[in-house]
Amino acid sequence: MNNSTIAKVGFIGLGDQGLPIATAIMEAGFDLHVWARRPHSLKPLSDTPCVTHDSVASLASAVDTVILCVSTDDVVDQLLREDLLPNLRTGATVINHGTGSPGTARRLHRLGQASGVSVIDAPVSGGRPGAESRKLTMFVGGSHGSVDSATPLLQACANNIVRLGGPGTGQMAKLLNNTLLALNQAAIADVLELATLIGLSPGTLMEALRLGSADSRALQLLNTMVTPDTVDHLASIEALDMEIFKDAMSEEHIDADAMTDRALSGARRLPDVMERLS
């Protein structure tokens, strides 16, 4: 891989998904710089050649590109305004892997432009397993030139990099992806409820459906990524994503309330689905 165009990479957000992404970047030969709000998050990287920083400002001043894998748009906005833009060099790039609002992505792009910094929205799909296996899918929105320059870096942890268009389009695609997943989960919940009423074993039926034309990614995730230990957390994240989706549709003056309500049903009933399968 030719990583000469992006030699020094800063990473913020060493959580469940962020840590394996950061590790993949380092193992691909990039010069990795990291900062964490909680020092214990740095422990898994303590025996690696990455460079740790005691402040975001220090990290920003040392790198060409910063990757953010944090939980909310508000955190991204704060980091960008208060720490990154004042310290990044002109021509630097910020890549946001978190799921957020398309409108916010467009606003952050304009904010970066004013400081000579490219901001790319590149939310990811695949969870921790996808990050660990370097098989994430990335939905990418941003200017053509900045995405071209960032592609060798994105390839370190993703086998599917889909360019959707300008700023915000990556976020919109990710929200539509998550909405469709939740809609499929609502349908699965309906079918398993019927199976229970009829007297069929939900678990046996699910295995049969996976082998037939009804198979879907939503079915494949059950008892793999979605487990009794993870279901409550994943359901809460999905519900939050649906609220972001609803706001995004409102910003576009599109009435998607019925779809949002159905998708929220899929997210909220996911724990019940897992209970039936157990």
**C-beta atoms surrounding 198 within 10 Å:** 8
Pick the CATH number of 172-277 from 1.10.357, 1.10.8, 1.10.1040, 3.30.70: 1.10.1040
For the full predicted model, state whether its pTM sits above 0.85.
yes
In the structure, what pLDDT confidence band is assigned to residue 278 with cuts at 50, 70 and 90?
A: confident
Q: Residue 84, class by beta-carbon neighbours within 10 Å (0-12 exposed, 13-18 middle, 19+ buried)?
A: buried
What tens digit of pLDDT does each residue of 215-268 get?
999 999 999 999 999 999 999 999 999 999 999 999 999 999 999 999 999 999
Residue ranges in the chain assigned as alpha helix (H): 18-27, 56-62, 73-79, 102-114, 127-132, 144-154, 169-198, 202-211, 217-221, 231-251, 257-268, 270-277
Q: Which amino acid is at 153?
A: L
Can you tell me the distance from the alpha carbon of 143 to that of 133, in angstroms, rounded to the nearest whole number?
A: 28
CATH number of 8-166: 3.40.50.720
In terms of C-beta density within 10 A (0-12 exposed, 13-18 middle, 19 or more buried), how is residue 39 classed? exposed
Instruction: Give the tokens for residue 18.
Output: 């962020």
Per-residue pLDDT, averaged over 70-90, amounts to 97
- What's the pLDDT score for residue 210? 97
What average pLDDT score do residues 72-90 get?
97
Position 64 confidence tier, pLDDT thresholds 50, 70, 90: very high
pLDDT in the model for residue 7:
86
Torsion angles phi and psi, residue 135, rounded to 5? -125, 35
Residue 129, amino acid: P
Over residues 2-40, the pLDDT tens digits come to 444 558 999 999 999 999 999 999 999 999 999 999 989
In the predicted structure, residue 179 carries a pLDDT above the cut 50: yes
Domains of the chain, residue spans: 8-166, 172-277
The token duo for 270 is 């996911």
DSSP string, 184-229: HHHHHHHHHHHHHHHT--HHHHHHHHHHSTT--HHHHHBTTTB-TT
Which of the 8 DSSP states describes residue 42? G
How do residues 99-119 score in pLDDT, each as one tens digit? Answer: 999 999 999 999 999 999 999
Question: How much is the pLDDT for 137?
Answer: 98
Instruction: Compute the average pLDDT of residues 42-66.
Output: 96
Q: Tell me: the pLDDT tens digits for 113-150?
A: 999 999 999 999 999 999 999 999 999 999 999 999 99
pLDDT attached to residue 4: 46
The span from the CA of 225 to the CA of 78, in Å, is 31
